[in-house]
Structure 1
């Protein structure tokens, strides 16, 4: 017999027992969570039309299936570039029309959800907002897939319970994103917890992707971590690519050039094949 606590707590919606075969998340003709590994790539922040279009065309030519780009940027310093806001969203929508790539971009505030959902195909919840429960409930009702990044200091259970807020509010189209957790070694920006990919894939039916760019913070290490993520079982990758990283207004030090990204995509095809999967090209 269930005890009193178990009786009032329903079985978790994220549980693998709920959907044994795994959930497929669909956005703009792209399916995440199937046999194909989906790569989402583009600049950290939308800076201008030329930069965004150049990055989008480059990542599409290399095989990326989704365009990433931030219109609203949460920054540690209030004096850093905060994004172009709605102007950036309009650029993302225009570039989507030109390239055919669906768009993922971050929403930071419950008051922004309707606006961002008008332009984006996937709504991203950043690491700082993983436990912003008001925002989680609001994005659940937007009718769009949601990518939920793991908090910098969040346990796996806390991450999954944050996803439960979205699922419980009626949106089953949730993608989990491991992006590194806070460590003690200053050499890297964060510690990329690739073990969490294997653990979460066993615990939940939701697709799991990895953001190696924000995890390591230096572009030299991004390709190795991207390859390792695919080998660990990730369903996709979120990678920063900028036409001219040295002039980027945000996170240029962790962004790949189009040339380096194209090289990485070729390497990822081999890794995907080795683990019985394919790369969505």
Structure 2
């Protein structure tokens, strides 16, 4: 180990090496990032400004939007800079820091989605006791619990990552510093890192997914008992949107974080990463908020206030 060179920075090769394609990708992802920021900030402003939206459902939407802004901002700004930069480098500690905040926000997001599923379960299956069960204290505890799980998950994996030694090569065939790619470049043994990553990803992923699934089973059973066909369609539309996004998010992230570090990067893997780390934060405001009649009314009211 004494004769080996210590790597101090990595090269992020990104999605393409073609200069014109990089400019095109820069514009595409800049639009996606700006849409993510504007959409989520707008949702947060609307929920804060409109007293009709001060209830548990929108409390969780507010925090989901905040997490989505953080989640997207961990990787996309550096990705945009690298599209235009000649030297697409990031320091080792900067790479590990990016990995830490990525895991933290991703872990927090999935458990906030689980809390939202539980909120819908109480609203649909126990409507008369909804405000009693989903008190402000319970809502704060659920969001705080989501952040706590995310922090523990990130600290656990970052602590082990800090012990890794990198002596070359230093090229990451990806647009961000995700832990599986760091493990591929380590000159030291990564078995413990892989086992901790696999175990923590499986436990946390399975726990959050099962919480969402268990919440939706009685919801679907209740919806099936609705006599109005229009009411059933509306309810199923809301549920299916939520479940589809959660399903794609879990499937893509699970495939990335449970594979062996010896498996090389593929186009499909990069598409999965784009889906769960870049597209999901952009789509969440549309799926969970902008399709909601109350939110659209509040947005229109807020825009009229600004114009006035």
Question: Which TM-score band applies after superposition, normalised by the shorter structure?
Answer: under 0.3
* Larger relative strand fraction: 1
Q: Which has the larger radius of gyration?
A: 2
The structure whose RCO (Cα within 8 Å, separation 6+) is larger is: 2
TM-score by length of 2: 0.24
TM-score by length of 1: 0.25
* Larger relative helix fraction: 2
